């Protein structure tokens, strides 16, 4: 499990405990319906075209024009968007979803989901760039796309120990529409990246047949995600002190302590030296599990999926191959992680009562 190291950002000399509450209040006040100067925000981020990635602009002019046209044909515009690979998706619902996205999310994540919104330069940690189609906290394995419920869950509860607020005060359908918008922008970003890569490697943008193949690949990657959801190998047991102790031993035996340290605090020499980066190029460190603040969620199933599936786009790998033959060990590790993070002291209480 990984977290952004605060020491690497230019705000490190200012008290993080003072910065975060203020920014959270400001962003959350916008996320729940209290949006001062909303018309100004809407105007500042609304546009009739999606900004193109730098890769497109660096292509030869003729190739860039072709790619821009192909993007328009398959992905549409902010006012008339299209879901890449699903041409029959309700266009009015897509447009409504993007309008909600611009209102609640665009000021941080940007019109095209590039993490380059109005507020992004003022934040100590860059907002997520959706355009790679990679999401850290999901119910599917490392390398797979998330299901829409994963996006909706993050939108609803936010991300612990970060500036991403929860939008639980929004009506369920609006949260669903925000999830649709995020998926739309992720698919669009994947398409744009593939088109640029094809133009760079072959010297020309893809022809119509190749273009359709790329769109089909993107559609398949997203539609197949539902069949890949990580279901626990065994039912969740009642956590006990014995499980916590077994989990501690497994934590040492399976290599977890290499990054997180034997006590789970992440104070290893390798971790403190830095040098680890996520797929977006941001520096990361193995999380301090004793902090009680797990970004992917602290419920048993959240921790279970982080262990079995890893954290997508980061150095935190999947332990599925290692633990597949001993499914009880996964729950033992969950018990240990919750114990050191003080999420669950029921095992201690049970032992004391006995």
- Residue 255 clears pLDDT 80, i.e. is over it: yes
28 vs 342, higher pLDDT:
342
Average pLDDT of the residues in 218-233: 97
Question: CB of 309 within 8 A of CB of 214?
Answer: no
Judged against a pLDDT cut of 70, whether residue 350 lies above it is answered with no
Of the candidate ranges 6-15, 217-226, 329-338, the one whose mean pLDDT is the lowest: 6-15
pLDDT at 254 over 70: yes
Show me where the domains of the chain are located: 2-228, 241-353
Average pLDDT across the chain, whole number: 87
Give the range among 7-16, 140-149, 185-194, 249-258 with minimum mean pLDDT.
7-16
Neighbours of 195 (CB within 10 A): 26
pLDDT of residue 1: 57
Query: Can you give the pLDDT at residue 116?
Result: 94
Q: Among 105-119, 248-262, 264-278, which is the least confidently predicted range?
A: 264-278
**Count H helices, E strands: the chain?**
16, 2
Q: State the CB neighbour count (10 A cutoff) for residue 253.
A: 11
DSSP reduced 3-state for 76: strand
The secondary element (H helix, E strand) that includes residue 2 is: strand 2-3
Alpha-carbon span 304 to 238, nearest angstrom = 14
Predicted TM-score of the model (pTM) = 0.85
Does residue 88 have a pLDDT over 70? yes
pLDDT of residue 270: 82
55: Cα within 13 Å, side-chain hemisphere: 17
Task: Write down the pLDDT at residue 38.
Answer: 45
Type and span of the H or E element at 100: helix 91-104
pLDDT per residue as tens digits for the range 260-291? 999 999 998 888 888 899 999 999 999 999 99
Measured CA to CA in angstroms, residue 164 lies from 216, 220, 315, 344 at distances of 32, 29, 21, 25
Residue 227 carries which DSSP code?
G
pLDDT (0 to 100) of residue 37: 42
CB-side neighbour CA atoms (13 Å) of 90:
8
Q: What is the structure's pLDDT at 26?
A: 54
Span 52-65, pLDDT tens digits = 899 999 999 999 99
What percent of the chain has a predicted confidence (pLDDT) above 70? 83
DSSP 115-142: S--TTGGGSSSPPP-GGG---SS-SSPT
Residue count of the chain, please give it. Answer: 354
CA R_g for the chain? 22
| Share above pLDDT 90 across residues of the chain, in percent, rounded to a whole number | 76
With bands split at pLDDT 50, 70 and 90, how would you rate the model's confidence at 41?
A: very low
23, pLDDT greater than 90: no
Q: What is the pLDDT of residues 145-203, one digit of tens each?
A: 999 999 999 999 999 888 999 999 999 999 999 999 999 999 999 999 999 999 999 99
Distances from the Cα of 55 to the Cα of 59, 67, 75, 182, 192, angstroms: 7, 10, 17, 21, 9
Would you call 285 helix, strand, or coil by DSSP? strand
Sequence-distant (≥ 6) Cβ neighbours of residue 159 within 8 angstroms: 137, 295, 296
- Give 289-299 pLDDT, tens digit per residue: 999 899 999 99
CATH topology classification for 241-353:
Cytochrome Bc1 Complex; Chain D, domain 2 (1.10.760)
C-beta separation of 241 from 351 below 8 A: yes
């Amino acid at each position: 499990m990984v977290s952004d190291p605060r020491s690497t950002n230019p705000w490190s000399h200012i008290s993080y405990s003072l910065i975060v509450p203020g920014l959270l209040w400001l962003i959350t006040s916008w996320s729940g319906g209290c949006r001062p100067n909303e018309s100004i925000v809407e105007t500042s981020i609304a546009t009739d075209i999606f900004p193109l990635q730098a890769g497109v602009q660096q292509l030869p002019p003729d190739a860039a024009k072709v790619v821009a046209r192909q993007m328009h044909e398959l992905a549409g515009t902010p006012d008339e968007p299209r879901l890449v690979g699903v041409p029959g998706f309700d266009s009015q619902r897509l447009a409504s979803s993007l309008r909600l996205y611009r209102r609640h999310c665009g000021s941080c994540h940007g019109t095209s989901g590039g993490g380059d919104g109005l507020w992004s330069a003022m934040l100590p940690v860059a907002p997520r760039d959706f355009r790679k189609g990679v999401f850290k906290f999901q119910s599917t394995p490392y390398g797979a796309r998330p299901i829409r419920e994963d996006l909706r869950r993050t939108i609803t509860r936010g991300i612990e120990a970060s500036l991403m607020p929860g939008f639980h005060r929004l009506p369920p359908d609006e949260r669903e529409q925000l999830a649709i918008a995020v998926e739309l922008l992720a698919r669009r970003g994947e398409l744009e990246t593939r088109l640029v890569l094809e133009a760079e490697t072959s010297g020309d943008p893809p022809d119509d047949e190749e273009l359709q193949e790329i769109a089909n690949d993107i559609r398949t990657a997203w539609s197949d995600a539902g069949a890949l959801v990580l279901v626990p190998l065994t039912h969740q047991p009642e956590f006990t002190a014995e499980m916590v102790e077994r989990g501690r031993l497994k934590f040492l035996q399976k290599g977890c302590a290499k990054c997180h340290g034997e006590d789970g605090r992440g104070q290893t020499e390798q971790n403190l030296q830095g040098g680890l980066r996520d797929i977006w190029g941001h520096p990361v460190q193995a999380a301090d599990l004793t902090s009680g603040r797990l970004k992917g969620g602290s419920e048993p199933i959240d921790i279970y999926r982080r262990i079995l599936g890893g954290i997508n786009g980061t150095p935190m790998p999947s332990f599925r191959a290692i633990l597949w033959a001993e499914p009880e060990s996964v729950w033992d590790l969950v018990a240990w992680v919750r114990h050191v993070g003080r999420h669950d002291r029921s095992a201690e209480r049970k032992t004391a009562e006995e």
